Amino acid sequence: MANAATILFEALSPMNLLLALLGVLGGTVIGALPGLSATMAIAVLVPFTFVMDPASGLIMLGAIYTGAIYGGAFAAILVNTPGTPSAIATTFDGYPMARRGDGDLAVTLATIASVFGGLVGAILLITLAPGLATLALAFQSTEYFWLAILGLTLIATLSQGNLVKGLMGGMFGLFLSMIGVAVIGGDMRFTGGMPSMLGGIDIIAALIGLYCIPVLIGMVATPGQHLDPGEARGFRLFEAIGISVKNWFNLIRSSLIGTLVGILPGAGGSIASLIAYSEARRASKNTANFGKGEPGGLLATESANNATVGGGFIPTLVLGIPGTPPDAVIMGALMVQGIRVGPSLFQSGDGTVYVFMTGLVIATLLMLPVGLIIGRYAFRFITNVPKAMLVPLIAFMTVIGSFAIHANPHDVLVMVVLGLVGWAAGLAGFGASPIVLGLVLGQIAEQGFMRAWMIGGARGDFMGQLLLNRPISWAIVALILLTMMLPLLRGRTARRLVAQDLARDGIAAATRVDRAGLAGSVVFLGLAVVMLMQARGLSPMAAAFPYAIGGALAGLSVLQILRSLRGHGGINAEGAGADGTVRGLVLAATMLGWALVFPHLGLFVTSLAACIILMLTGQFGRLTARRLAVYLACLLAMVVGFYLTLDRVLNVPLPQALLF
């Protein structure tokens, strides 16, 4: 094996440093754009690495991956739309910080946390990879099921003021994950007879719609700025370093959580960031500030999801089991280069894998200057661009991002419809985060549940296989129960204190029916009934999970109906501001019409027309002829630029339409 000096010298060569810098820069930009994922970027660039030196090509791919995971924080902080699923929890405190004028501080904190977490994950990858990989082997299908349920309970308790509503949103997300061909059994489920739904709902399209559409409707509802620009305070680096130092234990704990969760194939950054956020909130003295712009929450999520990059490479390199889709693509690139992954990889004389891992450390360090510079100008751009231009820009990016995933107009329609569903759900107190997490974790939960069901059924002991026979499962189930009980106890204590204060002042506590929550619960109850009825026509293998989720959703819906009648509606911060103004309804109708028409009339013409309508919808006050001309010129340049990028650069096949 090559010695350490040779490995370091090769990793620090000018060419490898340049490739790492370009990879981080490109990955950060890609991760910040909804719909353009790290997997897509790596898959497109893999063929170019075949003509490079193996170590150089792999360094660039690793840098793109690292940068893309970090880049998801920009959209999460500035427009409340996670650029990647692992940045979902970043919206909890990042976006509230940006709204109050601390967006520059939030971006700097996210950068520091990402670098720290990435370094911890990469260093543990280099030093402890073989030993940590054995932990992944200890997790079987049962543990993956309970791990997915843990993710749902965490999001339900952290993102809402109502545990029951959060769990209902998670159950709805699990239902969405079951649409299409059953992962076990092969039955067609819940497609409504539409062939276009056989492939199921794309996670990225759903994520864009559920987060972005409600934000757009909220933006046009009021004439104020989207974000408070605050003072021009630059990077705020020393202020961010001071906050990070005060949260040093939070950073270390979250990074270790991210690494450990990252080594579990399929778990990924979304679960890691939620667990880290939950632990940070539990241990903090400022628990009440979480969800309102608490820096500790942002540090926890960003350090955890970036630590999963190094953690995810551990089973990939040591066991040949890719933890995430980007890991699978990079593993394929390794194999094409003649590098066989597995336990013997670290005993071979080839030092390429160590050069790659050292390059991952270098790429993580390069995120600091790249992220600070991009973040500073990105925040200023978002705060200074008028709504009349910002609304069509974000809307166009949602359409382009959804379409570019599979070059399928159906994904755009799904994105818009789910966005409108998320907006309506937000008005009733059901946030987007539980729904998205249910969709993200759905297949993991169903596969784990069904494997435990089959193994337990063969042994005649299903509950034993699912719960009793696995010590690791005991720990996860205990954590789930603890996660659910603490918010209930805190909520009961808070209500008792309020009641005591009212009684002391001689004021009778008023009970107001949560009408919106009641209506939403009735809709969910109807969905549960439909789910259970349609499951009767499926094979036992395909029906087991729908029966379980449908029954759980029905029970939760009945419980929430009773709670809504008693006035326990909860507070949904995610739906705040997304009211039903005329402008909001015009935006919703424009987006829906755009998604329906562009496959037939053409992307260019319909996008230009829709952007003009959205520009007028986002314009408050008098619009002069000069400003209108400037806006129209900018819209034309934007549409032309994105259209040519799709058609000529990315070679995305556009739909055959009457126009262009």
Of 123-137, 374-388, 597-611, minimum mean pLDDT range? 123-137
pLDDT > 70? residue 580: no
Average pLDDT estimate for 424-428: 87
Q: Which residue has the higher pLDDT, 619 or 222?
A: 619
Average pLDDT over residues 628-647: 89
- Report yes or no: 117 and 406 within 8 Å, Cβ to Cβ: no
Per-residue model confidence (pLDDT) at position 231: 61
pLDDT at residue 349 in the model: 53
Residue of 466 and 439 predicted with greater confidence:
439
Q: What is the pLDDT of residues 481-490, one digit of tens each?
A: 776 776 666 6
Percent of residues, the chain, with pLDDT higher than 70: 78
On the question of pLDDT at 95 being above 90, the answer is: no
Residue 170 has pLDDT above 90, yes or no: no
What's the pLDDT at 578? 43
Is pLDDT at 56 greater than 80 in this prediction? yes
To the nearest whole number, what is the mean pLDDT of the chain?
79
Query: Of residues 220 and 222, which shows the higher confidence score?
Result: 220
DSSP 324: S
> And the tokens for 36?
């353009």
- Residue 117 CB-density burial (10 A; 0-12 exposed, 13-18 middle, 19+ buried): buried
What pLDDT does residue 576 have? 41
- Do residues 19 and 364 make contact, with C-beta atoms less than 8 angstroms apart? no
Q: Which position has the higher pLDDT, 176 or 232? A: 176
pLDDT at 160 over 60: no
Q: pLDDT band for position 480 (50/70/90)? A: confident
Residue 446 reports pLDDT greater than 60:
yes
Comparison of pLDDT for 177 and 30, the residue scoring more: 177
Q: At 159, phi and psi to the nearest 5? A: -90, -10
Give the pLDDT band (50/70/90) at residue 211: confident
**Sign for the pseudo-dihedral over CA of 192, 194, 200, 203:** negative
* pLDDT mean over 569-573: 52
Q: Are 208 and 591 in contact (CB under 8 A)?
A: no
Give, in degrees to the nearest 5, the angle at Cα 572 between 109 and 268: 50
Distance between CA atoms of residues 284 and 313, nearest Å: 31
For residues 299 and 243, what is the distance between their CA atoms, to the nearest angstrom? 9
Reference 106, options 269, 256, 243; nearest CA is 243
Distance (Å, whole) CA 209 – CA 417: 8
Q: What is the C-alpha to C-alpha distance for residues 68 and 430, in angstroms, rounded to an integer?
A: 29
Reduce the DSSP state of residue 169 to 3 states and report it: helix
Instruction: Answer with the residue of higher pLDDT: 276 or 376.
Output: 276
- The torsion angle over the Cα atoms of residues 283, 288, 290 and 291, rounded to 10 degrees, is 150
| pLDDT over 90 at 42, yes or no | no
Asked if residue 344 has pLDDT above 50, the reply is: yes
Cα–Cα distances in Å, from 541 out to 182, 186, 444, 446, 545? 9, 9, 16, 11, 8
Model pLDDT, residue 575: 44
Give the bridge partners for 188, in sequence order: 181
Least confident segment among 185-189, 268-272, 608-612: 268-272
More confident residue, 322 or 420: 420
Distance CA 173, CA 175 (A): 5
Type of residue at 88 = I
Residue, of 270 and 595, whose pLDDT is higher: 595
pLDDT of 299: 93
CB 249 within 8 A of CB 306: no
Q: 84: closest CA among 99, 65, 97? A: 65
Angstrom distance (rounded) from CA 250 to CA 303: 9
Instruction: Kindly indicate the confidence band of residue 111, based on its pLDDT and cuts at 50, 70 and 90.
Output: very high
Residue 630 backbone dihedrals phi, psi, to 5 degrees: -65, -45
**pLDDT(300) > 90:** yes
Q: What pLDDT, on the 0 to 100 scale, is given for residue 508?
A: 46
pLDDT digits 0-9 by tens, 511-541: 577 788 888 899 999 999 999 999 888 888 8
Question: Higher-confidence residue: 139 or 648?
Answer: 648
Q: pLDDT value at position 579?
A: 45
* pLDDT at position 614: 92
* Calpha distance 194→585 (Å, rounded): 27
Q: Rounded mean pLDDT of 8-31?
A: 84
Q: How far are the Cα atoms of 453, 542, 560 from residue 533, in angstroms, in the given order?
A: 21, 13, 22
Helix (H, G, I), strand (E, B) or coil at 352: helix
Q: What value does the mean pLDDT take over residues 262-289?
A: 79
Q: What is the pLDDT of residues 458-476, one digit of tens each?
A: 666 555 555 556 677 777 7
Q: Does the pLDDT at position 577 exceed 50?
A: no
Higher pLDDT among residues 114 and 432, named by residue = 114
Residue 660 above 80 pLDDT? no
Largest CA distance in the chain: 81
Instruction: Tokens for 328, please give them.
Output: 């699978």
pLDDT band at 439, cuts 50/70/90? confident
pLDDT at position 501 over 90: no
The reported pLDDT for the residue numbered 292 is: 84
